[in-house]
Structure 1
Amino acid sequence: MKELLLKDYKPELECVRKLTEIKKARFPVIDIHTHLGKLGLGEEYQSKYDLKKYLDKLVKLNVKHIVNMDGLYQDDFDKMMKFTTNYNHYITTFMSIDFSNFGSKTFEEETTDHILACYHRGSRGIRLEHQISFTYKDKKGNYLRLDDERLKFIYKLARKFDIPVYIRVGDSKAYFKAINENNEQIETLINNPKQSHYNNGSPSFEELLEMQENVIKGNKQTKFIVGHFGSYVENLSYVAKQLDACSNMFIDMAGCVAELGRVPYAARKFFIKYQNRILFGTDSTPLNDQDFITSVRFLETFDECFEHHRQGRWYIYGIELPNRVLKKVYYQNACLLLKIPNELLYINDIIIKDLKSNEE
């Protein structure tokens, strides 16, 4: 063999190691980061899966509640709320903001009305899309910054209603670097070149982190969930400093098990130290539930060198958290943040099964 293309390299591991069979989570779980609709599955999401069957499957995995990040706004929000109306006890939906009218005289008034309307219809969080600083510009042609004073009213409204604001300022740091042999995400970027932010005129990774810091520190009474492990899972020391500086900051682990699982010693110490600030999340859709089993294996076991389908050919290691920490990460922190009564978690599966049997 003279040469082998990287895409064709599929090694079979010869190391003999224990791989625990995971059927469900050890304790009740609230998945703080799922996608039931348009963001994860496209416009025709309702025809792609059966919501009742999907939720019943989650119950068997010991998932007692989920947060749906696909609330969006206007007609999309109405469509989603109608779609999930029978399962409001099990699904918390976050709204989004329409920034297409940003900078206009009516933006603040219209956005305020939207937030109020969504809140009164049951939405209990605001999701600010991470693409806003790559996509939207004001009338002067400047990219929209999360720390723009013209967005201050959004954070004040969230504080008033005591609902969290979900933010995520960027993607993997490797997405901001040149696509070459030194980029650890090269396979992902070759297959999806539009995900690259390298020299495309958008804010740098460092500028995005600065915006994030300014927003959280400048709105100390507002609770923020910073997605994907504080937007910088590759640098746990940085995330730790931000958590130390901002008591109103929480992080989710959605889409981050691949990065965390390659530094198991540091990750375990981090989870134990910041056990009150970390939320379980998968970033999954009804068509992709592999992330849940992988996440549970990572959190509950000391399994070594196992595959993570989301991140190419990486292999990861478990961190086997103590039960008291697991409970906080799995559901206790989310219950406090979203004000979900503990007793509701234990009846959700019964309600879902009853609804299913009645319809059958």
Structure 2
Amino acid sequence: MYKKISIILFTFFGVTISNAQENILLKDYSPKSIYKIPITVIEKAKFPVIDMHSHPYATTDAEIEQWIKTMDKFGIEKTTILSYQTGKKFDSIYNVYSKYEGRFEIWCGFDYTGYNEKGWSEKAVKELERCYRVGAKGIGELGDKGEGLVYSKPTKAYGMHIDDDRMKPLLKKCGELGMPINIHVAEPYWMYEPIDIHNDGLMNASDWKIDTSKENILLHAALIKTLENAVKENPGTTFIACHFANCSYDLSIIGRLLETYDNLYADISARYAETAPIPRYTKAFYEKFQDKLLYGTDMGMEPSMYETTLRILETEDEHFYEKELFNYHWPLYGLGLGDTILKKLYYENAKKIID
């Protein structure tokens, strides 16, 4: 009798568990750590910080003033606003943020209007010089995910990449004016892979995916090559490959470029979730390239965002999730970076570029 009841219960609960597994959708998967381990709350960065990668999220004086309060709370001395913009739109952003002297540095984009027409490069250089006179301190964020330089506004430059001959006068002029260039090339590698059961980044695949079937699109390796070509051909111009040049899956790729070219840096913005799951390898990378890495966020201006980035960099916390910021299934781990590295990452490396 007892044996019969046991078999029935086992069958019932076994079927229930099996059905539950089959009915849970991947997009709804949101694990919580079961480990009872230390949780560190970072109230302020250990050393002063310059955020080298942000955008004009705040659009009113009240929002900017609240942002500054948040910056003060977490020890962010200055934030670089990568506006993408040229023309009157850049001027308006500059006028809003420049009122808060010393707290923001505003960078412009390139104007690609007429980029397929003869004489475009000269016109674009003139607009660059005008933005510089207004107060632009650098260029960014430029962006090429394979179809061309499409981030700057108001015009997308489909088919033109950073190493195009038409770009040479602009890149050279940036060096002459002392304007660093922040550029986004490629995307995290899982975005190029099939959306199947083996894709390690599948949690984000519904929102972020590279259509590799598009005609004339450059894939990951080819985009890294365009970056290298531009950096190599313009030794007098400083380049910042944002997001580790999207080489978080293989940091040795950007590592080789950082070793080879004195005029290349990398910012760590918006790739915390991609590097924190491999803390020992990532920490070794930070140690090796501590003179070439820049703190950046690129994830808004909420207090929780700063707290998470600082927790990953400063603590040795283990196996935690941050679903609000990152939609991955990967647990995160603190890197526990040493003081010397943190000082360079947060502040000293940035001062070499913007002062």
TM-score past 0.5 threshold: yes
Alignment partner of 2:184 out of 164, 168, 172: 168
Match of 2:48 in 1: 28
1:227 aligns to 2:242 (yes or no): yes
Alignment partner of 2:31 out of 8, 11, 19: 11
1:103 aligns to 2:116 (yes or no): yes
Correspondence 1:267-286 to 2 at 5 A: 267-286=282-301
Alignment partner of 1:59 out of 57, 72, 84: 72
Q: Are the aligned partners of 1:284 and 1:291 in contact in 2 as well (CA < 8 Å)?
A: yes
Question: Which whole-Å CA distance do the structure 1 matches of 2:43 and 2:289 have between them?
Answer: 27
1:304 aligns to 2:318 (yes or no): yes
Match of 1:92 in 2: 105
1:76 aligns to 2:89 (yes or no): yes
Match of 2:211 in 1: 197
Q: Are the aligned partners of 1:71 and 1:81 in contact in 2 as well (CA < 8 Å)?
A: no
Q: Are the aligned partners of 1:71 and 1:96 in contact in 2 as well (CA < 8 Å)?
A: yes
Question: Which whole-Å CA distance do the structure 1 matches of 2:158 and 2:249 have between them?
Answer: 28
Question: Which whole-Å CA distance do the structure 2 matches of 1:132 and 1:14 have between them?
Answer: 38
Alignment partner of 2:133 out of 117, 120, 128: 120
Distance 1:303 1:245, change over 3 A: same
Q: Are the aligned partners of 2:186 and 2:219 in contact in 1 as well (CA < 8 Å)?
A: no
Q: Structure 2 length as normaliser, TM-score?
A: 0.86
Match of 2:341 in 1: 325
Alignment partner of 2:169 out of 148, 153, 177: 153
**Which letter maps to 1:279?**
L
Question: Which whole-Å CA distance do the structure 2 matches of 1:49 and 1:177 have between them?
Answer: 43
Q: By how many angstroms is 1:289 displaced? A: 4.4
Q: By how many angstroms is 1:324 displaced? A: 1.1
Cα deviation digits, residues 12-31 of structure 1 (max 9, x gap): 32212111011110110000
Q: By how many angstroms is 1:311 displaced? A: 3.5
Match of 1:356 in 2: none
Question: Greater Rg, structure 1 or structure 2?
Answer: 2
Partner SS state of residue 67, structure 1 = strand
Q: By how many angstroms is 1:126 displaced? A: 1.0
1:144 aligns to 2:160 (yes or no): yes
Q: How many residues align?
A: 326
Correspondence 1:40-59 to 2 at 5 A: 46=59, 50-59=63-72
Cα deviation digits, residues 63-105 of structure 1 (max 9, x gap): 0001001251112202201211311421111110122311212
**Which letter maps to 2:319?**
C
Partner SS state of residue 89, structure 1 = coil
Percent identical pairs in the alignment equals 26
Match of 2:204 in 1: 188
Partner SS state of residue 109, structure 1 = helix
**Which letter maps to 1:328?**
K
Cα deviation digits, residues 145-183 of structure 1 (max 9, x gap): 211111111111111112211112111112122222222
1:245 aligns to 2:265 (yes or no): no
Q: Are the aligned partners of 2:143 and 2:149 in contact in 1 as well (CA < 8 Å)?
A: no
Match of 1:260 in 2: 275
Q: Are the aligned partners of 2:291 and 2:349 in contact in 1 as well (CA < 8 Å)?
A: yes
Partner SS state of residue 316, structure 1 = coil
Question: Which whole-Å CA distance do the structure 1 matches of 2:122 and 2:87 have between them?
Answer: 15
Cα deviation digits, residues 1-47 of structure 1 (max 9, x gap): 3122223333332212111011110110000001114xxxxxxx626
Q: Unpaired segments of 5 or more residues in structure 2?
A: 1-15, 151-156
Q: Are the aligned partners of 1:132 and 1:144 in contact in 2 as well (CA < 8 Å)?
A: no
Question: Which whole-Å CA distance do the structure 1 matches of 2:348 and 2:149 have between them?
Answer: 36
**Which letter maps to 1:271?**
Y
Cα deviation digits, residues 251-303 of structure 1 (max 9, x gap): 000011111111111111111111110000011223x4433211111111111
Question: Which whole-Å CA distance do the structure 2 matches of 1:313 and 1:177 have between them?
Answer: 17
Distance 1:65 1:48, change over 3 A: closer
Question: Which whole-Å CA distance do the structure 2 matches of 1:35 and 1:165 have between them?
Answer: 15
Match of 2:304 in 1: 290
Q: Structure 1 length as normaliser, TM-score?
A: 0.85
Q: Unpaired segments of 5 or more residues in structure 1?
A: 38-44, 340-360
